[in-house]
Structure 1
Amino acid sequence: MEKTDIIIVGSGIAALQLARRLQDHFYVMIITKDEIESGNSYLAQGGVAAPIGLKDSVHSHLKDTLEAGCYHQLEDSVKELLVDGKRIVESLVNEGAPFDREDDGSLSLGMEGAHSEYRILHSGGDQTGKFLMNHLLKSLSREKVQFVEREMVYELVKNDRGQCCGVKTKDKDDAIRFYYAPHIVLATGGIGGLYPSTSNHPSVTGDGMALAFLAGAKLSDMEFIQFHPTLLWSDGKTCGLISEAVRGEGAILLNDAGKRIMEGVDPLMELAPRHIVAECIYKERRKGRNVYLDISRIEDFQGKFPSIFALCSKHHISIEAGRIPVSPGCHFMMGGIVTDRVGRTNIPGLYAIGEVACSGIHGANRLASNSLLEGLVYGERLGEYLIESGVRSSALVYSPFDRIVEGEPISIPFHADELKEGMMNHVGIIRKEEGLSAHLEWLNEQPLTFHEHIDFNSREEIHLYFMWVVSLLVTESALLRTESRGGHIRSDFPMEDNAGWLKRKMVLQKNEGRLRVDDHEQNETKIYA
């Protein structure tokens, strides 16, 4: 492909949906640091939430989303998401997307936590992400959409006017490459790989957030991280996701004494919002008890959940015994790069969509199965915007040979496991000032600073540096929010503080190599060393 109009970094649902919308108008390049299938979208067991049932409505879905997010969202943005999402999902159904159906041919709609209606569409039982990804991939023209696999983007290139106009990568052999285009889109997913227990693909460690922050973009809501309640626990570690749809089919949570642990915790029991269920399981395990999903009441478990059945078989967990050992793990980041309704950031030419973005729709805790919907909606919405606005000639946006800036050599003095354990122990499911301050002190002790232009000997060093950057942003944000809300649980501030924190957001941005935090509600700005 001789020309590239738009570069997309990342290859999940949001990226493919965007590429599909753009391909009849522009030349698109998708760059991914691993393979196309190596990402969270491909792993997604849960489905797509959309208000398309006969008894359902946008209003009902909106109410559930706002309640799950503890009303920290922008309500108009959530409503727009659901209106657009309903239309897009119905369009996918009409074009033959492989959603599961009942024996009579009607769509099979499932139930998940914090939903009040059956509105979850699945594919292949518990393989929705894989099926949707394959559906979108088949629709892409390889003449107009080029894939660059196994290259890690580690710097955003800007011109003298501050416009983002390219990316700098390292390939699998650590060779440096440059790619240029008038529009750069980050669709790199979340931060699950910052924790030792996660449902995410190991490669998902917040690259896009680090890239954007170092280039001067604004980030927000970094303290809000969703921990999925039920990851398979085997041989002293988490080994993969046990979808919430299993609880939607009737599985219950028991401890090793046979007690149903959600009794008296929440009226919705096992289908309570994820942060409530995750906290309950976490507390049981801290007492030294094991926790199990009792699946004995689910008929044809293997047929309904083939990938979970295979996962359990792989780790020698007997489905016939009726109990699956589970433990919480990092699942989804509600915060990220601040964007508007189409995905624009504060940096001209730079966009963000999907989990990497903070568009105001998830609030303090994402409602189950709203994430694939987000990717579909914002992928299409940004595509529509770029088509309507047009793509200016690349020659007017950058001068490639003027933009090659030598980076500053940096060495990384710690191992990934050290940072991950610190994140889990101090910035995990339950937090308090003492632990957050200890982890922040450890991060600040590392001989690292924020560099826009960096130089590393290997991709592994880039990986560790980005982990350090994002870990610092999350920890600082968690320390500043002195309340508990959604995925942010402070044991020293256990209650929601609606008077002081309901809509209040910390906006983080790099300022001359230091961290700047703007609290617009309080009209305060702080600069941290």
Structure 2
Amino acid sequence: MEKYNHIIIGSGIAALQLATHLNKSSKVLIITKSKLNESNSYRAQGGIAAAIGDLDHPTFHYKDTLKAGCFFQNENAVMELAQNGPRIIKSLNGNGLLFDEDDSGDFSLGMEGAHSQNRILHCGGDATGKHIMNHLFSEIPPQIAIVENEFVFELILNSDRNKCIGIKSMDENGEVHHYFGQNIILAVGGVGGLFSYTSNEKSIAGDGIALAYRAGAEIVDMEFIQFHPTLLFVDGETRGLISEAVRGAGARLVTAPGVYLMDGKHTLGDLAPRHIVAKEIFNRRASGVDVFLDISMIPDFEKKFPTVSKICLENGVALESGLLPVAPGCHFLMGGISVNEVGETSVNGLYAIGETASTGIHGANRLASNSLLEGLYFGEKLATYLNKLNVSNEFISINEEGVLNRDQLFIPNKKEIKEKMMSHAGIIRTNLELVEIEGWLTQFSVQDNALDKYSKEQIQVLFMVQCAKLIVNGALLREESRGGHIRADFPSESQCWQEVHIVQSKNGIEMRRRTNERHQVEVHA
């Protein structure tokens, strides 16, 4: 039985930032169900936002974040993030991470949707995530244990079931392993893999949300999902992300040469908040009209956007045409596991950071390029908190099961879940479609606690079903349109929902106001 001070599930930017800032004397395990570099963070193209320009200020960044998130955030958390942005950038740069520079040798600061200032820093053009992650990989202390290709399928609770003390994982051969730790941290990304169209790493499908929910943690605002407006769309499938930085460099959305999609739709035009742009593209495509990103005005496109260029060439899209076919797809979860200001969940000993967590930063819609900054900030902040803890050595003993005989289980296949979530709970939602998918999901049981008897593939599907239910529950209850949650039958924001969060746990569903006023509603399990 292996014991650690800290067990980090996931290998994205928040996970690695945490690992590199923990006390060097701590015994730490990083465990991931795929390879260390297979994360959304590693794939991130757009950049990282920070108010570092001469004419910029954290207050401007704060205001832009609130506006993009429909003022649904924890304002103190947003201000802290904005204020710490410049410090974090300077720290990374001082430790050897090179950000792109302009001709004068200053940081090259780009513009993206809903920002009022040029404040997006990049590394390697459109390979920012890759460069930051490689930098963090190089900073991981050698004493930290790393386990790849093991799927964490259960959080182990103590005998009183009031503290998380370990994890169960399953390797590629179906063998079950147990690891015990004083602090368990979930940092496993969002829910993109629940939808047929997504920019996410294909393995990311809400595992962290399902793990936390099954352990009794509170999950909040799962209806708020950001769909990125511009994924490359070829032969009926999305083939990769076309960074918003491309529009920031001047590219325009068109339905035909010279016919601009966003003209008259928003004062910011092609750089309007993502949910607005995604909705316009979705509606136009739904009417049978193809949508393209016109890049003809961007000189040296391949040099400026090597990652996007590579994706296009690999999928037979000629850059010379100047028109890239695009469609929106699932990109980022604003809701997630409910946490406090340092990442503590409602389960003792269990923490969450990164996209898995709902930190109060993003509200109803994430401001472009805030996610990498959030991961860095909360990874560092949680490390500072954990380094000061006086932790006990409370463990329980569980025998290794080894390879078990697997039971049959009535579940859908992954493709069914993705297609139904995209069509019924995707960019534009209606009560009719949500009720239909709710009924379909209800037939699949996800409450069985004895997961050891199922295969890794079966458990992953069960987790997908559980996350899908949480999303659909929230989308059905929130009878308004706000940010990434768009209801065709309730097309406007409603004042009565302005301060209401939908909190789900094993105990039921609550409509919880920021004033701590609570209203119990019927459970949609």
- Quickly name the TM-score band, shorter chain normalised: over 0.9
Q: Which amino acid is the alignment partner of residue 165 of structure 1? A: I
Deviation at 1:258, TM superposition (A): 4.2
Within the candidate set 427, 432, 435, 1:434 is matched to 432
More displaced 10-residue stretch of structure 1: 75-84 or 351-360: 75-84
Q: Which amino acid is the alignment partner of residue 343 of structure 1? A: G
Give the corresponding residue for 2:182: 182
Q: Percent identity?
A: 49
Q: Which amino acid is the alignment partner of residue 509 of structure 1? A: S
Q: What is the rounded CA distance, in whole Å, between the counterparts of 1:194 and 1:261 in structure 2?
A: 28
Secondary structure at 1:386's aligned position in 2? helix
Residue by residue over 1:432-474, the C-alpha shift from the partner in whole angstroms, topping out at 9 and shown as x without a partner, is 100000000000022x132344234321111100000000000
Residue by residue over 1:470-489, the C-alpha shift from the partner in whole angstroms, topping out at 9 and shown as x without a partner, is 00000010000000000000
Give the corresponding residue for 1:323: 323
Within the candidate set 419, 422, 429, 2:420 is matched to 422
Give the corresponding residue for 1:481: 478
Deviation at 1:41, TM superposition (A): 0.7
Give the corresponding residue for 2:56: 56
1:520 aligns with 2:512: yes
Secondary structure at 2:114's aligned position in 1? coil
Give the corresponding residue for 1:100: 100
Q: What is the rounded CA distance, in whole Å, between the counterparts of 1:210 and 1:358 in structure 2?
A: 14
Deviation at 1:407, TM superposition (A): 12
Q: Which amino acid is the alignment partner of residue 373 of structure 1? A: L
Q: What is the rounded CA distance, in whole Å, between the counterparts of 2:466 and 2:280 in structure 1?
A: 30
CA spacing shift, 1:5–1:493, aligned 2, 3 Å: same
Q: What is the rounded CA distance, in whole Å, between the counterparts of 2:190 and 2:411 in structure 1?
A: 24
Q: What is the rounded CA distance, in whole Å, between the counterparts of 1:457 and 1:403 in structure 2?
A: 16
Q: What is the rounded CA distance, in whole Å, between the counterparts of 2:66 and 2:450 in structure 1?
A: 40
Give the corresponding residue for 2:31: 31
Q: What is the rounded CA distance, in whole Å, between the counterparts of 1:453 and 1:159 in structure 2?
A: 16
CA spacing shift, 1:202–1:291, aligned 2, 3 Å: same
Q: Assess if the C-alpha contact under 8 Å between 1:69 and 1:367 holds in 2.
A: yes
Give the corresponding residue for 1:78: 78
Q: What is the rounded CA distance, in whole Å, between the counterparts of 1:471 and 1:356 in structure 2?
A: 15
Q: What is the rounded CA distance, in whole Å, between the counterparts of 2:14 and 2:102 in structure 1?
A: 28
1:471 aligns with 2:468: yes
User: What are the equivalent positions in structure 2 for 1:476-515 lying under 5 Å apart?
Assistant: 476-498=473-495, 500-511=496-507
Secondary structure at 1:528's aligned position in 2? coil
User: What are the equivalent positions in structure 2 for 1:214-253 lying under 5 Å apart?
Assistant: 214-253=214-253
Q: Which amino acid is the alignment partner of residue 518 of structure 1? A: E
1:156 aligns with 2:155: yes
Secondary structure at 2:320's aligned position in 1? coil
Q: Which amino acid is the alignment partner of residue 520 of structure 1? A: R
Q: Assess if the C-alpha contact under 8 Å between 2:434 and 2:472 holds in 1.
A: yes
Deviation at 1:423, TM superposition (A): 0.5
Q: Which amino acid is the alignment partner of residue 524 of structure 1? A: H
Q: Which amino acid is the alignment partner of residue 469 of structure 2? A: L
Deviation at 1:47, TM superposition (A): 0.5
Within the candidate set 358, 374, 397, 1:400 is matched to 397
Give the corresponding residue for 1:449: 446
CA spacing shift, 1:477–1:407, aligned 2, 3 Å: farther
Q: What is the rounded CA distance, in whole Å, between the counterparts of 2:352 and 2:411 in structure 1?
A: 31
Q: Which amino acid is the alignment partner of residue 266 of structure 1? A: H
Deviation at 1:403, TM superposition (A): 10
Instruction: Specify every segment of 5 or more residues in structure 2 that has no aligned partner in the other structure, as ranges.
Output: none
Deviation at 1:88, TM superposition (A): 1.4
Q: Assess if the C-alpha contact under 8 Å between 1:256 and 1:289 holds in 2.
A: no
Deviation at 1:59, TM superposition (A): 0.7
Deviation at 1:87, TM superposition (A): 1.6
Secondary structure at 1:46's aligned position in 2? coil
Instruction: Specify every segment of 5 or more residues in structure 1 that has no aligned partner in the other structure, as ranges.
Output: none
More displaced 10-residue stretch of structure 1: 15-24 or 181-190: 15-24
Give the corresponding residue for 1:263: 263
Deviation at 1:402, TM superposition (A): 8.0
Secondary structure at 1:281's aligned position in 2? helix
Residue by residue over 1:26-59, the C-alpha shift from the partner in whole angstroms, topping out at 9 and shown as x without a partner, is 1210000000111101110011101111111111
Residue by residue over 1:236-289, the C-alpha shift from the partner in whole angstroms, topping out at 9 and shown as x without a partner, is 110000000000000000003641010110010010000000000001101101
Q: What is the rounded CA distance, in whole Å, between the counterparts of 2:10 and 2:197 in structure 1?
A: 22
Q: Assess if the C-alpha contact under 8 Å between 2:16 and 2:136 holds in 1.
A: yes
Aligned length: 519
Q: Assess if the C-alpha contact under 8 Å between 1:157 and 1:403 holds in 2.
A: no
Q: What is the rounded CA distance, in whole Å, between the counterparts of 2:471 and 2:458 in structure 1?
A: 20
Q: Assess if the C-alpha contact under 8 Å between 1:409 and 1:454 holds in 2.
A: no
Q: Assess if the C-alpha contact under 8 Å between 1:127 and 1:307 holds in 2.
A: yes
Q: What is the rounded CA distance, in whole Å, between the counterparts of 1:380 and 1:57 in structure 2?
A: 22
Q: Which amino acid is the alignment partner of residue 305 of structure 1? A: F
Within the candidate set 451, 459, 462, 1:462 is matched to 459
Q: Assess if the C-alpha contact under 8 Å between 1:155 and 1:453 holds in 2.
A: no
Q: Assess if the C-alpha contact under 8 Å between 1:214 and 1:451 holds in 2.
A: no
CA spacing shift, 1:388–1:23, aligned 2, 3 Å: closer
Secondary structure at 1:97's aligned position in 2? coil
CA spacing shift, 1:55–1:452, aligned 2, 3 Å: farther
Q: What is the rounded CA distance, in whole Å, between the counterparts of 1:449 and 1:509 in structure 2?
A: 13
1:297 aligns with 2:294: no
1:345 aligns with 2:345: yes
Secondary structure at 1:505's aligned position in 2? strand
Q: What is the rounded CA distance, in whole Å, between the counterparts of 1:155 and 1:485 in structure 2?
A: 34
CA spacing shift, 1:23–1:317, aligned 2, 3 Å: farther
